[in-house]
């Protein structure tokens, strides 16, 4: 009976519009049930999409972090290369100002003893390095070689407490001795009279006395002058011009071993020799002078005959 009724209702619904209002009302009534039935599926799909999106965001975030880290590493390397380029250019400019032959060396080690100021460089006896060789950077004099190995060498800095260097004030040529204090930022001038003409800001250069360091290299700048009438000598401190704690590339100077006076005497001899050569070139040769005199005498003897 129910089957026959169902068939009749389907035929009537398909052939006629009599049941259309009823179907619309039923659809309106059943819509919430359709929504409730579809809710678990939609919730599952939404949760799946959110989980996938979160996983993608996490993966993308990790990828971006890795890329940012790589870019930072490259940026740091670029900054290092830029600074290295600047230092090498400064060192190159400094080498052009040095008259003597120089060799560029790189710092490869620092003495861990806090009471000694020594450096290890990558040049040694095989490169011609010798004991006592002056070492400087782009800003000034750093020290001297105190130990030579085949491929490396040790450099004693001018601020070491055991190091002393003869200097003179560039402004008035007043000579003194700059002694290391163990402080990498301070030198001390010893045995300078209390009435000496020394001012803060004076540049100290190597005097060349002792023939260990060539004359004229910047050593330090005077930072403090204390005059005590009760003391025979003034207390004078100076700051090294070289970047002792920061320089990585150094210059090894091969000097000629001559003192400033010997260099001046040598330059004078060369100048006198050049002047003598110029004078010789300007004076006629003796044979040419004799021939010229003979020609003049012949002309004078022929003059009466013509008359």
Q: pLDDT of 191-215, one tens digit each?
A: 898 888 999 999 999 888 877 888 8
Tokens of 184: 């990498």
User: Who's near 137: CB < 8 A, 6+ residues apart?
Assistant: 91, 94, 242, 243, 247, 249, 250, 251
Segment among 131-140, 159-168, 203-212, 269-278 with least mean pLDDT: 269-278
Q: Which residue has the higher pLDDT, 240 or 253?
A: 240
What is the pLDDT at residue 156?
95
User: Who's near 232: CB < 8 A, 6+ residues apart?
Assistant: 193, 194
Of 205, 173, 180, 39, the C-alpha closest to 117 is: 180
Highest mean pLDDT (candidates 17-31, 81-95, 153-167): 153-167
């Amino acid at each position: 009976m129910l089957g026959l009724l169902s068939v009749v209702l389907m035929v009537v619904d398909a052939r006629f519009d009599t049941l259309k209002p009823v179907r619309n009302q039923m659809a309106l009534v059943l819509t919430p049930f359709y929504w409730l039935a579809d809710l678990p599926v939609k919730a599952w799909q939404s949760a799946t999409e959110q989980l996938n999106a979160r996983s993608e965001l996490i993966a993308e975030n990790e990828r971006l972090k890795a890329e940012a880290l790589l870019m930072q590493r490259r940026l740091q390397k670029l900054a290092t290369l830029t600074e290295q380029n600047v230092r090498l250019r400064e060192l190159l400019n400094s080498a052009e100002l040095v008259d003597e032959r120089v060799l560029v060396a790189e710092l490869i080690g620092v003495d861990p003893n806090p009471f000694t100021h020594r450096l290890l460089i990558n040049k040694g006896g095989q490169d011609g390095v010798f004991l006592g060789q002056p070492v400087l950077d782009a800003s000034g004099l750093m020290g001297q070689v105190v130990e030579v190995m085949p491929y490396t060498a040790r450099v004693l800095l001018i601020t070491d407490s055991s190091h002393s260097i003869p200097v003179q004030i560039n402004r008035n040529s007043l000579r003194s001795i700059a002694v290391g204090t163990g402080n990498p930022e301070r030198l001390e001038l010893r045995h300078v009279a209390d009435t000496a003409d020394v001012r803060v800001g004076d540049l100290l250069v190597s005097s060349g006395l002792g023939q260990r360091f060539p004359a004229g290299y910047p050593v330090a700048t005077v930072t403090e002058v204390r005059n005590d009438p009760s003391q025979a000598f003034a207390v004078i401190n100076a700051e090294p011009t070289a970047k002792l704690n920061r320089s990585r590339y150094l210059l090894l100077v091969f000097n000629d071993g001559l003192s400033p006076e010997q260099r001046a005497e040598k330059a004078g001899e060369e100048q006198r020799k050049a002047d003598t050569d110029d004078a010789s070139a300007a004076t006629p040769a003796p044979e040419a002078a004799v021939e010229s005199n003979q020609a003049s005498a012949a002309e004078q003897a022929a003059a009466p005959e013509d008359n």
